[in-house]
Every structure is written in structure tokens, then in C-alpha cells.
Amino acid sequence: MDNVTKKISKSIIQHDKENNRIYLMKMHEDDSYGIIDILEEVAKEKKYTKIIGKIPLGAKVFFLEQGYSIEAAIPEFYKGKEDGVFVVKYFSKDRKEEKYKEIINDVLSESIKKSNEKKQCTLSKQFIFRKAGENDAEAIAEFYKKIFQTYPFPIYNAKYILTTMKDNVVYFTIWKEDKLIAISSSEMDKENLNVEMTDFGTLPEYRRKGLAVYLLGKMEEEMIARGIKTAYTIARAVSYGMNTTFSKKGYTFAGTLINNTNISGRIESMNVWYKKL
């Protein structure tokens, strides 16, 4: 995968052909005026069909004036104060059209019914939970190769896993003896005190045992201890399991990102959920 993550001026962008998009992952306030032109130049050069930006609410006016729209919004996203919004612009009619509206609406409806479910999730004695260390990077990369046919970031690469561990990501794992069976990660924006709860995966034979809900609880404990104020996720909109997991843990639906992410072999729409920690 030709996956590029780099700094443009003071902001961070990611783009690649498999996702067929540019993602403005972190926008610096000094870049409000100039970043849009840069994004659109890259999109034109690479023939991408979507630009998506995760930006402070105060910057939205610059994007809306240039034909962008808002697909999701998270209150108090930046340092527990300023709201955040996901702004998008499409360069293809097909990319903008959601083909699975009925399924996505059903998933969302069923998930919201499970909101704040109080059932306590405990871990069976046959399983062991622990935060991953650097020695686990190879096992994590191999695990993700088994789970996802495609993924928006190079999580199949042990060097990438190791680099993220040293930077801003905590990996959470569940093992059965010496076999890794479930995993997730918390990708922190330490400056803005928010965290993406992401990279959930469970081996097929261990699904429907509440492992994702258990991991999410442990992730929240760790993030609260680190002073993080807002958690969010970008979950596959057609996944009953992941949307229900976040709804059960008290997350609020924030919007759907249309045809946003290449995951498990095709570009899919993603639901955004958030929670104040």
C-alpha cells in the first residue's frame, strides 16, 4: 500500500490510492487559510475522489465556503472545550452515493437500542488481558494480517506498530496461553486530549464473547488515567458488533462518513461515536 502520512506546514495529512482519499488528520490553527488549496492540489494530482478533514469548529467556515459539508460532529473534542467536525468534499458522484443505506440505518437503530447497557463484562479465566509491549509488535502485525484483508493504515507492518507504540498509541491485548486472540488500540492526540479507540480485532472462533466490550472498558480506564477528556471511534457502518459495542459503553452517535475507508476489501462508510471520559 502506497500509504503516505506527512506534515504539511504545521498540519498532518494521510493519503493513499487504496482509500482513494486525502485525510486531514490534525489541522493546526495557523493553517486555516492555506491548507485547503494544498489538499485540493494533491487530490487533483493523485485523482483522489474524496477529501476528509478532522478540524476545529472554528475552522469550518473556511471549508464550507469552498464547497465542503459536515458529515459528523463531536462536542468538546479539543482539550475538552472546542467542538470538532469532520468536513468532506467529493470529486465523484459514485463516491458520494451510499449504496447500503438500509443496512446502515438498521445497524444504527439496533445499536442505539443497546445504549448504556449496564451488564458487567468480565473476562473468562481462560483468557489473559495485558497492555502490549514492544516485544509484541511482530505478533500484533501477524494478527492483523489474519483479520483484515485491507486496512486504511499499515498495521500489518511490525515496524509501523513499533513506531506508533513509541509515539502515541497504546495497544491492548487478550491472550489464551501464548495465542493472541483479540486486540485494540488507543491512538492519542496528547496535545488536544482526545483519543481514537480503534484497530479492534478478534479471531473468528472467539467472537461473541464480549471481548471487544471488555477491551474498551480497559482502554477507557487507561485513557482517564492519562488525562484524556474525549474518546471517539470511526466504526464500520455495516458492523452490528462494533456499533453495538460502543453504544453499550455509552457512546453517542455523531454522524456517518460516506464511503470513507478501505477496510476488509472494499471502501465502506463509517460511523463516528464519541464519549466524554
pLDDT in tens, 242-260: 999 999 999 999 999 999 9
Q: Which class for 173: exposed (0-12), middle (13-18), buried (19 or more C-beta within 10 A)?
A: buried
CATH topology of domain 101-276: Aminopeptidase (3.40.630)
Q: Is the pLDDT of residue 139 over 90?
A: yes
Q: Is the pLDDT of residue 222 over 70?
A: yes
What's the chain's average pLDDT? 95
CA distance 136 to 38: 38
Q: How confident is the model at residue 22 (pLDDT cuts 50, 70, 90)?
A: very high
Higher pLDDT, 155 or 96: 96
Direct distance between the N- and C-terminal alpha carbons of the chain, in angstroms, rounded to an integer? 35
CA distance 235 to 263: 10
Across 31-35, 150-154, 226-230, which has the greatest mean pLDDT?
226-230
pLDDT score for 57 = 97
Give domain 4-96's CATH architecture. 3-Layer(aba) Sandwich (3.40)
Q: How confident is the model at residue 3 (pLDDT cuts 50, 70, 90)?
A: confident
Is residue 173 within a helix (H) or strand (E), and if so which, with residue range?
strand 169-176
CA distance 127 to 133: 18
Tell me if residue 34 falls in helix, strand or coil: coil
Structural contact between residues 178 and 213, judged by C-beta atoms closer than 8 angstroms: no
Structural contact between residues 230 and 77, judged by C-beta atoms closer than 8 angstroms: yes
Side chain identity at 107, as an amino acid letter? V
Q: Is the pLDDT of residue 106 over 70?
A: yes
- Domain ranges in the chain with CATH number 3.40.630.30: 4-96, 101-276
DSSP conformation letters of 185-232: EEEEETTTTEEEEEEEEE-GGGTTSSHHHHHHHHHHHHHHHTT--EEE
In the chain, pLDDT over 90 holds for what percent of residues?
A: 89
Q: What is the mean pLDDT of residues 166-195?
A: 97
CA distance 26 to 86: 11
Neighbour tally for 202: CB within 10 Å: 20
Neighbour tally for 197: CB within 10 Å: 27
